[in-house]
Amino acid sequence: MVKLFDVDTSDKSHLVIECKRSYSGFEKYGVAMNVDHLKTSVSIDNANQGSAIKLIKVAPCINNYADAPSKHLATTNWNIFRSCVIPEKWTITDTESVYNLTVLEKHPYTTQTFVPMGRLADEDVFIVNVAPDKNGVPDYEKMESYIFKGNTAVTYNVNTWHSPMVVLDKTTDFCVVTNENDVPEENCVEVFYNPGIKIRISKVE
């Protein structure tokens, strides 16, 4: 990962991003891979002698490293991320939880897919924070945040600004598939925010 620059957000205390409990709008940034969400919008085949259904080509796995300045080839890799809760980034009350986001990153030449492991299908597991690009940097004031459950994997589009994974309640493992070469600045670049950007999760009644 390569740090691009720091952004002073000390005059943005009014900026609070509300976390969504729906998939609406996420298609701008990637694919929320959930069977019930996708099965009405993609092709489906029977598979495995009728013991399964196959949702076909629900998300891409794109490798654009041929367009990178170095021209160094990339391989498609499965990695495992063990993501931990960072208590000092959270402010929790009876009515809401607020996360202090301090970094956004992007992968300029590849998609990236996160598949949660070991969490219940119907529990809130992780938060995805995504922002549109504006002249090569995140338009962080237009950031959107989503809560996803244990039955949902996420693919980020190529060149999509997003936060590192934010997990809820406990340490969570993710299988992650992406393309990588040997040039750090072509794999991942980061922008840091100080003191940060507030992401608010309202408690479910």
Mean of pLDDT values over 122-135: 96
One DSSP character per residue, 70-133 reads: T----EEEEEEEEE---GGGEEE-SSEEEEEEEEEEE-TTB-EEEEEESS-TTSEEEEEEEE-E
Identify any residues that bridge with 75 across adjacent strands, giving them in sequence order: 180
Domains of the chain in sequence order = 2-34+60-202 (2.60.120.480)
Instruction: Using the predicted structure, report yes or no on whether residue 129 has a pLDDT greater than 70.
Output: yes
pLDDT at 205: 64
Give the number of residues written for the chain.
205
Q: Residues of the chain with pLDDT > 70: what percent?
A: 100
Q: What is the pLDDT of residues 73-121, one digit of tens each?
A: 999 999 999 999 999 999 999 999 999 999 999 999 999 999 999 999 9
Percent of residues in the chain assigned helix, strand, coil, to nearest 5: 10, 50, 40
pLDDT at 81: 98
